[in-house]
Chains A and B, each alone.
Chain A
Amino acid sequence: MPIVPLPDFGPALPEIVLAIGSLALLLIGVFLGERSTRLVSWLSVITLMAVLALCGTFGMPHRLGFYGMFVTDAFAVFMKMLILIGSAISIILSLHYNEERHIDRFEFPVLILLASTGMMVMVSANDLLTLYLGFELQSLALYVVASFDRDNARSSEAGLKYFVLGALASGMLLYGASLIYGFAGTTSFAGLASMFEHGVTPSVGLVIGMVFVSVGIAFKCSAVPFHMWTPDVYEGAPTPVTAFFSVAPKIAAIALFIRFLVEPLGGLLAEWRQVIVFLSVASMVVGSVAAIAQTNIKRLMAYSSIGHVGYALIGLAVATPDGIRGVLVYMAVYLFMNLGTWAVILCMRQKGRHVEAIADLSGLGRTHPGLALALGIFMFALAGIPPTAGFFPKLYVFLAAIEANLVGLAAIGVVASVVGAFYYLRIVKVMYFDEPVGAFDRPFATELRWVLAVAAVITFFYVLVPGPIAGGAEAAAASLFVK
């Protein structure tokens, strides 16, 4: 029997630390009981930050681990950082909300940590099996947190819906992976890449497999037409969970999309570009048009996130380093403006109850000028109006689209952003033009105010120091195209 050498664990060090950390925190929680929630939550945040530091220190050079099934490079580090920040802030956002709803159980942060581990594995996948492992780890954790408010019918419904549809998507992904294996004879990304390097015409079965895997991923990043679950789950899940859903899993899914299509299937650009263009156009159009009729701000944000995925996919459709760079900047900016918006939504409490109707924001400009200013900044940023941060990622993806001669795609994007601007402006209108209906409960939780302020400052002043995000994205995108 040949002696198999130990796999190289080095590249996966952050994931291993995170997995062990989450199990250790689970133990702490079990021993200390229910009252340990705040402690476990803050420890989780610290763990996430430690892992973030670890990623930044050790992850940058391109390295393979686990016999080539796992890869770490600048791209993975960039995306993992965004995911970790998103997870950490979601935990912070949940503190006050969960206590108030009496769902402050220590499992919550632990589940978020496990989901983050899964996402990081997804980002670093270099093999269809690794991909699926990460995919399922995050999905299972997400199904549970979606129905975390278990005595609430809407939350349970959201969890169930997400589970059923998510399981379907996982099945499709797995089926696609098996087709790819059957027709290509390998699950390794490197193997697939070398197969298509020399312009081999792919077999039909392989293309079908690729489409099935893409469907599974598109479901996770809620690209139209696989978006049906999004508004319901966003509305039903506890708000901090929705905040989490709208950033971290989405970023992970987009990262996986990029990794899967650009690295192993880069040679099949002509085949998959049509798929991505279709997803992108459909998401932009549905996202912006369907949002107009919404009255619930959580549903509105669901459609908004669908639209944003559409814009990000423009960059993927281009599939040049410039395009991918656009997507990465998009995700980074989206993270901050979106979390900021969710922090505002978490501040919307009247007489001890959380309210979610857009009409509840009426006259916010007069009752809470600071909150209104912050939400105004986020709305103009989401609409992509300069000089807020939201303008620049749109600029980069349109730039890449024009470079690749996808003018039609860019033009549709432009029209969709005008339609989209309408519903973002509607929020501004409700806040500033309408008469106040009643103030929100004061004071807002300290951690909410901090998240809000930091997100608003980053979104507003990004224009002065665009360097760090742009530079990071630049290096990350370049690392994907190094052969």
Chain B
Amino acid sequence: MSHWPLLSLVTFLPLVGVGFIMLARGDAETVARNARNIALSTSIIVFVLSLVLWLEFDPNSSAFQFVEMAHWIQIGGFSINYHMGIDGISLFFVLLSTLLTPLCIAASWTSIHSQVREYMIAFLVLETMMVGIFSALDFILFYVFFEGVLVPMFLIIGVWGGPRRIYASFKFFLYTLLGSLLSLLAILAIYFNTTPHTTDVVAVLANPHFSEGLQRWLWLAFFASFAVKVPMWPVHTWLPDAHVEAPTAGSVILAGVLLKLGGYGFIRFSLPMFPLASAYFTPLMFALSAIAVIYTSFVALVQTDMKKLIAYSSIAHMGFVTMGIFAMTSEAVQGAVIQMLSHGLVSAALFLVVGVVYDRLHTRDIARYGGLADRMPNYAFVFMCFMLASVGLPGTSGFVGEFLILLGTFRASTLECFLAATALFLGAMYMLYLYRRVIFGTITRDELRNMLDLTPREKAVFAPLLLLTLWMGVYPNSFLAPIRSSVDNIVQRATTARKAADSALPSTAPGSATHAGIEWPALHHWLWTPASAAVTHRE
């Protein structure tokens, strides 16, 4: 199997499905039915293939596996390669993407009536982009996928979304575009500051020697991109809008996979490539994470819209993740990865849970519900499981991630750990409060009396998510094993680089770095370099 370009197959097979869907002919009904079937079967095949990736993956190695390399663009000295590969961290994000796509397609089986063909095409394209992001090992290739993902998501929110969908889709697109374009400039700066010039992620990772001043600028540029994706306070405001307006499956992908891009980026690029800058900005990250965790928890508490509540809880959970990443201990980063995976499953499931009642009653207003336990016992059970997983009950996936993060952060900063721990309490508060209002109590409204319980299709959608949540909670080692070696590798590099810099500091030439601060590159001359400077640069 190893001589097959398995990773490319997983990445681009959805596009083959797109081709088939485009060939579908006939009246609207037939086309819609064919599109659904083709999309579901394609995404299931992709998922099965991605399972092969997991089976064949060597968990003891921290190197990139399933590596593929081909020349892509060669213009002058500037060459971009089609370089793909995954390590323990990206493996599970790839799996998460391939798992959620068929579930999303199944979840929208009946709730999407108009333009079904286009909807399915958008989801399959989205899958290609998501898998591509996590397996790209060239900066430009990464960037192409990273920005390409905006297009289908923009259309999904804008075409099939709620009443304020246009505002939400534009906000989503423009926020993320600005961030990612800034990171593009950083990528280009990386290119010119490596010897030999390269945009290859592996090459840069192997030899990340940027001066500390440069590291800070690069770190900030990447921060602009990833912080918007995470999203971190205060650039989180696009998320509640996007979630509320997106169709259920759109929210699932958004919460399940797209929010992970930010955390993934921090782990993959910021930590190992700019270790000194990461250390320098850790207090900032801790502060923003703590604000995100506590502030958004309180905001979640007062929401009247179910989706908005879960959206704010997502921001809080992702605040945990960024905190864990920048604690920069092995446990905390592992915890951050597990927390992201767990959140990918749990928040995706919670959005599906909201989708179930939304499909029946067409409202997400919490006040319109109540007492569903009577009419929908299965639903109440499923909701409870995911609600508790979101709270972080031991035995569910949510616990493992949060526990590891707290454990690792405690070593880095006790205060931060304390602040984060209050959020566990707040999280329990808003989730239990939501659950009580929707599920318990007596049915007071007539329209709720006719609500039907989960259909077999819906059960089939929830079953794998539930199983995985419990698996990850009860025996996390099957996930942690491949993650551990990759994370250890990254954390170790960052620590070594910091230690080297610390020990090098006193021994540098007198007069150059004797003052406490390190010089940032000068900001003047940036619009036009004086002739003399330009000449020196060109040499």
In the complex the two chains form, is B115's CB within 8 Å of A385's CB? no
Q: Whole-angstrom distance between the alpha carbons of A432 and B526 in the complex? A: 41
Contact status B184-A395, CB under 8 Å = yes
Q: Contact mask B37-80 → A, CB, 8 Å, 1/0?
A: 00000000000000000000000000000000000111110100
Residues of chain A in range 424-483 having any CB-CB distance to chain B below 8 Å: 425, 428-429, 432-433, 463, 466-467, 470-471, 473-474
Residue of B nearest to A326 (CB): B75
Q: How far is the CA of A402 from the CA of B173 in the complex (A)?
A: 25
8 A Cβ contacts from A73-118 to B: none
Q: Tell me how far the C-beta of A417 lies from the nearest C-beta in chain B, rounded to whole angstroms.
A: 6
Other-chain residue from B144, B185, B537 in contact with A411 (beta carbon distance below 8 A): B185
User: A269: which of B75, B159, B534 is its contact (CB, 8 Å)?
Assistant: B534
| The residue from A369, A395, A406 contacting B527, defined by CB atoms under 8 A apart | A406
Q: Is A360 an interface residue (CB 8 A)?
A: no
B75 touches A433 (CB 8 A): no
Q: Taking the complex as formed, is A386 at the interface, i.e. its CB lies under 8 A from any CB of chain B?
A: yes
B362 interface hit (Cβ, 8 Å)? no
Contact B185 A365 (CB under 8 A): no
B184 adjacent to A366 (CB under 8 Å): no
For chain B, residues 142 to 164, give those with C-beta under 8 angstroms from any C-beta of chain A.
143-144, 147-148, 150-151, 154-155, 158-159
Question: A429-B166, A433-B158, A433-B166 known; A385 and B147 CB under 8 Å?
Answer: yes
B299 within 8 A of A: no
Interface-lining segment among A52-60, A158-166, A270-278: A270-278
B75 in contact with A473 (CB, 8 Å): yes
- Chain B residues within 8 Å of A304, by CB: none
B118 at the binding interface (Cβ < 8 Å):
yes
Neighbour of A433 across the interface among B165, B182, B185, B192, CB < 8 A: B165
Q: Tell me if A404 is interfacial: C-beta within 8 Å of chain B.
A: yes
Within B314-359, the residues touching A (CB, 8 Å) are none
Q: Does A229 touch B at the CB level, under 8 Å? A: no
Given A385-B147, A387-B148, A395-B140, residue A366 in contact with residue B115 (CB < 8 A): yes
Q: If A391-B144, A425-B173 touch, does A325 touch B178 (CB 8 Å cutoff)?
A: no
A410 within 8 A of B: yes
Q: A321-B76, A391-B144 are in contact. Are A402 and B533 (CB under 8 A)?
A: no
Query: Would you give the shortest CB distance from B295 to chain A, in whole angstroms?
Result: 27
Q: Interface SS of chain B: helix, strand, loop or mixed?
A: helix
Report the bound CA distance from A22 to B73 in whole Å.
40
> Would you call A403 an interface residue if the criterion is a C-beta within 8 Å of the partner chain's C-beta atoms?
yes
Is A42 in the interface zone, CB < 8 Å from B? Answer: no
A270/B118 in contact, CB under 8 A: no
CB-based contact B177/A421 at 8 Å: yes
A470–B75 touching, CB < 8 Å: yes
Q: Is the CB of B526 within 8 A of A365?
A: no
Given contacts A399-B191, A418-B178, are A380 and B151 in contact (CB under 8 A)? yes
8 Å CB contacts to A: which residues of B59-115? 72-76, 78, 115
Do the beta carbons of B534 and A405 come within 8 Å of each other? yes
Complex Cα spacing A408 to B74, Å: 27
- Rounded to whole Å, the gap between the CB of A470 and the closest CB of chain B is 4
Decide: A410 and B534 in contact? CB cutoff 8 A.
no
The verdict on A410 contacting B185 (CB below 8 Å), with A403-B192, A404-B534, A466-B73 known, is yes
**B538 contacts A320, C-beta separation under 8 Å:** yes
Q: Are A277 and B528 in contact (CB under 8 A)?
A: yes
Contact B144 A463 (CB under 8 A): yes
Query: How many angstroms from the CA of A402 to the CA of B183 in the assembled complex?
Result: 13
Q: Which residues of A contact B159 (CB under 8 A)?
A: 365, 432-433
- Which B residues lie within 8 Å of A273 (CB)? 528, 534
In the complex the two chains form, is A425's CB within 8 Å of B185's CB?
A: no
Interface status of A135 (Cβ within 8 A of chain B): no
In the complex, the number of residue pairs spanning A and B with C-beta atoms less than 8 Å apart equals 133
A385 touches which of B78, B150, B169, B170 (Cβ 8 Å) = B150
The 0/1 profile, CB within 8 Å of B marked 1, for residues 258-302 of chain A is 000000000001100110010000000000000000000000000
Question: Which chain B positions have C-beta within 8 A of A422?
Answer: 170, 174
The verdict on B181 contacting chain A, using a C-beta distance below 8 Å, is: yes
* Docked complex: B500-539 residues within 8 A CB-CB of A: 525-531, 533-534, 537-538
Contact residues, A322-373 vs B (CB, 8 A): 322, 325, 329, 365-366, 369
**Most B-side CB within 10 Å, residue of A274, A320, A405:** A405
Known: A399-B188, A470-B75. A406 touches B528 (CB 8 A): yes
Q: Is the CB of A470 within 8 A of B150?
A: no
Contact between chains at B158 and A404 (CB < 8 Å): no
- In the bound complex, what is the Cα–Cα distance between A27 and B221 (angstroms)? 62
Does B9 count as interface, using CB distance less than 8 angstroms? no
A224 CB → nearest B CB, Å: 16
> In the complex, how many angstroms separate the beta carbon of A288 from the nearest chain B beta carbon?
12
A270 with B140, Cβ < 8 A, contacts A415-B178, A418-B177, A425-B170 known: no
- B415 near A: Cβ within 8 Å? no
Beta-carbon contact of A270 and B143 below 8 Å: no
A32 located at the interface, meaning its Cβ lies under 8 Å from any Cβ of chain B in the complex: no
B235 at the interface (CB under 8 A from A): no
**Which residues, 121 to 144 on B, are CB-close (under 8 Å) to A?**
140, 143-144
Chain B residues proximal to chain A, CB less than 8 Å:
72-76, 78, 115, 118, 140, 143-144, 147-148, 150-151, 154-155, 158-159, 165-166, 169-170, 173-174, 177-178, 181-182, 184-185, 188-189, 191-192, 525-531, 533-534, 537-538
Binding site for B on A (CB under 8 A): 269-270, 273-274, 277, 317, 320-322, 325, 329, 365-366, 369, 380, 385-387, 391-392, 395-396, 398-399, 402-411, 414-415, 417-418, 421-422, 425, 428-429, 432-433, 463, 466-467, 470-471, 473-474
16 more contacts with CB within 8 A, not counting A409-B526, A429-B169, are A269-B534, A322-B78, A325-B75, A329-B75, A365-B159, A380-B151, A386-B148, A395-B184, A398-B188, A404-B534, A404-B537, A405-B537, A414-B182, A417-B177, A421-B173, A466-B73
Closest 5 CB pairs of A and B: A270-B531, A408-B526, A386-B144, A408-B527, A470-B75
